[in-house]
């Protein structure tokens, strides 16, 4: 494998022939297992663990295949492969999840080997996207591009991916295990809501150090993770994380799946006792076997392609002139771009939340458009966000207006990032066998209700998160306004929480009162937002008004008669 980064795919780790041979063998292995299931030689109970190891779920109406997108990084060729799968094997669309993966909801069992083979052709797979193992390591969607970044977290995310994939000791943990990593002072990965959250920065002699948070999570028992270790040296990163997972594997409960996550273990033992056990395990390990020497890290880094960032000196002036001449473009730049480390570039967030649309759903044609735009504007690189949007990481400022016009033409130019229309929602009862209520119709109605770009900007920063059940795949606990679907004697109701946040100001939303019937929920939220617009002080965002005044000021509005 060449280490000439100019020849490597930008932004993602380049596979070599060993990786590709492994994927090919894995597909052949699963093809045989599928054939045995179809022929009746394997029962569903026998087949279930085999399909889960390959990301294949059986949902309400069909099989669902969850495709891994390591730390959210995709190439244009990979996006076109996903479009092909959507068009050929699904109903012409896919769904971006809050774990930076893609799901296909209408898959036939007999097609899955061919789909996995198509994925392997572009260095993709579905391994460890399900089951009680270490799942996809998630990462800042602006990694390697953000102006405020201290350290590119993708390199260590890749190291952790290689460490955790098919780790023989961690194939059957008490429950699924999720790791997130950030290299920015601004938490854009919800680090404190993960089993392990890592915040990286340069340490002595420029080598990275990590703050390690453990025991965070959402679900039926939302808990904010605790700081287990600060300034962990890079050389000990893998050893220390292995010590944590060993302790969890040894002491985590297996008798009750609802009590099996590491957050429950940390709470049960107490953080000091948990830390003692991790330190004891860490002390027993032969650390030389795990040490991340600089040359090892450099070897991983060398397999990431680097964009050639070269922009005209007047790129920013060209952008400013375009914004002045076109108010709609100016609004989109305000909402859908993020500061880049290079002054001539910016990062673009493509909203997958059109007015009245389904959060995270993208058609095959739109996937092809995004791939073409990535090739034309961002070195063929695409990022998927845990907010269910897509990022083009490196766009020249003088070419931004042309990109925006192309996005608008494709129905991908919605200017709502961070605003009320940028709703996170799980698939809910429309697809999921665990759900109690439908998340999607509520998201669509809210999105349509607040479609006006002017109104959205006037409301300001506001996160609405919707989950169709207590498992919280829509992260409702972390929403400024959280919406949880519940079942009451066969009818769908929705419980509201207020004040949640997944950022540096991390907080768990508090239940405001009784759950509302489905046909009253959108109106109640509209009244709540109207109340905020009246109560806020100049320049105050929703979350700040809520924290200043508390829930009582909003409760009357929510439960007032329409």
| pLDDT, tens digit (0-9, with 9 covering 90-100), for 44-96 | 999 999 999 999 999 888 999 999 999 999 999 999 999 999 999 999 999 99
Q: Which whole-number Å values give the CA distances from 113 to 191, 246, 407, 450, 504, in the listed order?
A: 35, 33, 34, 42, 42
* b/e code 316-354 from CB counts within 10 Å (16+ = b): bebbeebbeeeeebbbbbebbbbebebebbbbbbbbbbb
Minimal CA–CA distance to 520: which of 469, 489, 557? 557
State how far the alpha carbon of 91 is from the alpha carbons of 84, 280, 361, in Å: 11, 52, 11
Residue 263: φ, ψ to 5°: -60, -35
| CA atoms 540, 546, 552, 558: torsion sign | positive
Q: What is the DSSP letter of 145?
A: T
How far apart CA 357 and CA 362 sit, in angstroms, is 10
- Counting Cβ atoms within 10 Å, is residue 467 exposed (0-12), middle (13-18) or buried (19+)? buried
C-alpha dist (Å) from residue 557 to 146, 494, 562: 39, 16, 10
| Paired tokens of 169 | 């000791």
pLDDT digits 0-9 by tens, 132-182 = 999 999 999 999 999 999 999 999 999 999 999 999 999 999 999 999 999
Are residues 559 and 553 in contact, defined by beta-carbon separation less than 8 angstroms? no
Report whether 474 contacts 426 (CB < 8 A): yes
pLDDT tens for the chain, residues 1 to 562: 445 556 899 999 999 999 999 999 999 999 999 999 999 999 999 999 999 999 999 988 899 999 999 999 999 999 999 999 999 999 999 999 999 999 999 999 999 999 999 999 999 999 999 999 999 999 999 999 999 999 999 999 999 999 999 999 999 999 999 999 999 999 999 999 999 999 999 999 889 999 999 999 999 999 999 999 999 999 999 999 999 999 999 999 999 999 999 999 999 999 999 999 999 999 999 999 999 999 999 999 999 999 999 999 999 999 999 999 999 999 999 999 999 999 999 999 999 999 999 999 999 999 999 999 999 999 999 999 999 999 999 999 999 999 999 999 999 999 999 999 999 999 888 888 888 899 999 999 999 999 999 999 999 999 999 999 999 999 999 999 999 999 998 899 999 999 999 999 999 999 999 999 999 999 999 999 999 999 999 999 999 999 999 999 899 999 986 4
- Residue 561, CA atoms < 13 Å, CB-side half-sphere: 0
Give the number of C-alpha atoms closer than 13 A to the C-alpha of residue 270, restricted to the C-beta side. 3
Distance in angstroms (rounded) separating the CA atoms of residues 210 and 199: 5
Contact in structure between 54 and 331 (CB atoms under 8 Å):
no
Contact call for residues 276 and 243 (beta carbons, < 8 A): no
Residue 233's beta-bridge partner residues?
A: 209
How much is the pLDDT for 136? 93
CA dist., res. 107 & res. 129, Å (int):
16
User: What is residue 1's predicted lDDT score, i.e. its pLDDT?
Assistant: 40
**In whole angstroms, what is the distance from residue 322 CA to residue 501 CA?**
35
211 burial via Cβ count (<10 Å: 0-12, 13-18, 19+): middle
Spatial separation of the C-alpha atoms in residues 388 and 440, rounded to whole Å: 14
Contacts 24+ apart (CB under 8 A), 485-490: 485/428, 485/429, 485/435, 485/436, 485/437, 485/438, 485/439, 485/442, 486/436, 486/437, 486/515, 487/436, 487/437, 488/515
C-alpha 537 chain-centroid distance: 33
The backbone region for 280, taken as left when phi is positive above 0, alpha when psi lies in -120 to 50, beta otherwise, is alpha
Q: Which of 99, 115, 100, 125 is nearest to 19 (CA)?
A: 125
pLDDT at 5: 57
Provide the H-helix boundaries in 154-236. Answer: 154-164
The half-sphere exposure of 541 on its side-chain side, counting CA atoms within 13 A, is 14
Query: For residue 41, what pLDDT is reported?
Result: 97
**Structure-token match 């009862």, residue found:** 429
Beta strands in 120-263 (DSSP E): 138-139, 179-182, 196-202, 208-214, 226-233
Calpha distance 441→430 (Å, rounded):
9
């Amino acid at each position: 494998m060449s280490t000439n980064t100019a020849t490597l795919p930008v932004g993602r780790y380049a596979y070599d022939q060993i990786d590709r041979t492994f994927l090919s063998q894995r597909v052949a292995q699963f093809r045989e297992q599928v054939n045995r299931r179809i022929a009746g030689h394997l029962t569903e109970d026998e087949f279930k663990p085999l399909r889960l190891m390959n990301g294949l779920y059986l949902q309400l109406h069909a099989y669902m295949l969850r495709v891994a997108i390591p730390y959210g990084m995709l190439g244009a060729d990979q996006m076109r492969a996903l479009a092909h799968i959507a068009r050929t094997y699904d109903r012409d669309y896919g769904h971006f999840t809050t774990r930076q993966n893609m799901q296909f909801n209408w898959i036939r069992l007999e097609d899955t080997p061919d789909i996995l083979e198509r994925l392997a052709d572009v260095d993709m797979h579905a391994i460890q996207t399900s089951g009680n193992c270490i799942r996809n390591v998630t990462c800042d969607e602006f990694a390697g591009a953000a102006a405020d970044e201290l350290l590119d977290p993708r390199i260590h995310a890749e190291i952790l991916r290689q460490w955790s994939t098919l780790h023989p000791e961690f194939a059957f943990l008490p429950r699924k295990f999720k790791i997130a990593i950030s290299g920015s002072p601004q938490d854009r990965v919800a680090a404190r809501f993960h089993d392990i959250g890592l915040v990286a920065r340069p340490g002595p002699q420029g080598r990275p150090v990590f703050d390690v948070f453990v025991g965070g999570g959402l679900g039926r028992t939302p808990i904010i993770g605790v700081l287990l270790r600060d300034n962990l040296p890079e050389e000990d990163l893998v050893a220390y994380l292995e010590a944590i997972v060993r302790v969890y594997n040894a002491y985590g409960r297996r008798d009750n799946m609802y009590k099996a996550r590491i957050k429950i273990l940390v709470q049960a033992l107490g953080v000091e006792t948990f830390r003692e056990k991790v330190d004891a395990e860490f002390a027993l390990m032969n650390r030389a076997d795990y040490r991340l020497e600089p040359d090892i890290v450099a070897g991983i880094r060398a397999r990431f392609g680097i964009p050639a960032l070269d922009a005209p000196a007047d790129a920013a002036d060209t952008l400013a002139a375009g914004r002045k001449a076109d108010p709609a473009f100016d609004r989109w730049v305000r909402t859908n771009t993020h500061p880049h480390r290079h002054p001539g570039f910016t990062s673009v967030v493509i909203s997958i939340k059109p007015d009245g649309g389904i959060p995270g759903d993208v058609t095959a044609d739109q996937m092809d458009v995004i791939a073409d735009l990535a090739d034309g504007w961002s070195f063929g690189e695409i990022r998927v966000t845990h907010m269910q949007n897509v990022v083009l990481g490196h766009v020249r400022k003088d070419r931004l207006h042309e990109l925006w016009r192309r996005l608008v033409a494709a129905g991908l130019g919605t200017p709502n990032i961070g605003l009320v229309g940028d709703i996170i929602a799980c698939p809910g009862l429309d697809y999921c066998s665990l759900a109690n209520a439908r998340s999607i119709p509520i998201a669509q109605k809210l999105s349509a209700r607040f479609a006006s770009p002017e109104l959205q900007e006037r409301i300001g920063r506001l996160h609405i998160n919707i989950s169709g059940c207590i498992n919280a795949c829509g992260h409702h606990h972390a929403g400024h306004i959280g919406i949880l679907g519940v079942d009451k004697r066969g009818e769908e109701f929705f419980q509201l929480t207020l004040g949640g946040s997944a950022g540096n100001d991390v907080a768990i939303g508090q239940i405001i009162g009784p759950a509302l019937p489905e046909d009253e929920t959108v109106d109640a939220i509209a009244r709540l937002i109207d109340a905020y617009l009246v109560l806020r002080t100049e320049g105050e965002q929703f979350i700040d008004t809520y924290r200043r005044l508390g829930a009582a000021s909003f409760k009357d509005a929510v439960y007032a008669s329409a």
